[in-house]
Amino acid sequence: MKLVSVIIPYFKKKKYIADTLSSVLNQSYNNLEIIIIYDDPEKEDFEYLSNLISHDKRIKLIFNDKNLGAGISRNIGIEESKGNYIAFIDADDQWIKNKIEEQLSFMISGNIDFSHTSYKIIDEENKYISSRKAKNFFHIKDLIKSCDIGLSTVMFKKEILKSNRFPDLRTKEDFVLWLKLISEGISIYGLNKDLVLWRKVKNSLSSSTIQKIFDGFKVYNYYMKFNIFKSFYYLICLGLNFLKK
């Protein structure tokens, strides 16, 4: 059985982490290593989390001396990972029980390097809001105007990363990496099954409009090397597509 490395950055998600971990540990596919990167130097939830994971030897806990952000924390997890495949889940999301099994089968049977799945969006009280359908992305033009890949749905072969990693951004760090990979010829395949519950949290960093605008511009101007006018054009496209969802 292929080893799948599951990487979870953790920062002040005590309300949700038990459900998140339960959804990972109870997967129908159990050849997993779970790497949690504890990114809160205040250690506010450290004892709680340590007790929560003490019963399962598949879990490895890494502690950051300072707050590095989710992207850099995932990079640390990637460096520590031993799996053939890597999957991500944020500390307030949940996986359906057969998520890894179905997605891995989909990838192996199709010889796929990178996949993502459809997902349902829930609120802070687990109530259904809406859903997102996974699509295939074969060219950078397919993805450049809208970040339509749910990070907690992603799985890929570790070998495709090479030297690529998440950039040091507070939001949109995953979008930058996906654009980088697709620009290097990696096709992204969508599995149209709702295998993830993605939680929309009002006070999360990802909900900050100003931060999203700033980081969205940086995606195009700094990382994609577009000029100012082209960067603003794609930023507007990104915002409009977000409003349509």
79-97 residue pLDDT tens: 999 999 999 999 999 999 9
> Which residues lie closer than 8 Å to 90 by C-beta, 6 or more apart?
8, 9, 20, 70, 151, 152, 199
pLDDT for residue 207 is more than 70: no
Q: What is the mean pLDDT of residues 227-237?
A: 96
Q: What CA–CA distance (Å, rounded) separates 116 from 136?
A: 9
Domains of the chain: 4-244 (3.90.550.10)
**Using one digit for the tens of pLDDT, what is the confidence trace for 140-160?**
999 999 999 999 999 999 999
Per DSSP, the three-state class of 64 is: coil
Q: Output the pTM of the full model.
A: 0.94
Contacts 24+ apart (CB under 8 A), 98-102: 98/27, 98/28, 98/29, 98/195, 99/27, 99/195, 99/196, 100/4, 100/27, 100/28, 100/29, 100/32, 100/155, 101/27, 101/28, 101/29, 102/191, 102/193, 102/195
Q: What CA–CA distance (Å, rounded) separates 70 from 8?
A: 9
